[in-house]
Amino acid sequence: MKHQEEMTPEAFAFSLLTLTSDVVSDNSQALKEHLNVIKQSSKLPRVEEELFFFFVFALDYWLAMGSRYTKEEKDIVRQAFYAHLANILSLNTMQERLITYAQIVNEEKGDEAKFFGFGSKLSKLCGMPGNPHLLVLAPHLFTEALQLLTTLEHTRLKMK
């Protein structure tokens, strides 16, 4: 039987934040290779910020929608996650992004249309509407967030 790691919800949330930074950094580096460095290099900080917002949305979505954790555990992890986020970004902007992307999820469309909606919205918020790399990256990040949470499901939450 596989040994389960045990973490407090705060530590779990902090590890999600660290993993989010890693995922965004890796994907932004890969994206940088595809962007015209001279024309679009000034947009890279904005792109990285938007990738971060989108990935946080995706984690929040998948944490809320699934996983083996109870509603109480999910709520505590989400509260801790947003407490950590408050130290590094504007929660008002984060809330706006959650609403923006949630509207796409709530539309009565198939998954492919939702994925295109994510890519379209992400590329627009990055200041590069229709950029093909961003159109493809959004669905990839959305799926990567699910995979990340799935790999962490072996972690038991140590409730106080």
Predicted pLDDT of residue 40:
63
Q: Give me the DSSP letters along 49-83.
A: HHHHHHHHHHHHHHHHH-SSS-HHHHHHHHHHHHH
pLDDT tens for residues 73-116?
888 988 999 998 988 888 888 899 999 999 998 887 887 888 99
pLDDT tens for residues 54-77?
999 999 999 888 767 888 888 898
Rounded to a whole number of angstroms, the CA Rg of the chain reads: 16
Predicted confidence (pLDDT) at residue 48 exceeds the cutoff of 60: yes
User: Do residues 48 and 27 lie in contact, with contact meaning Cβ atoms separated by under 8 Å?
Assistant: no
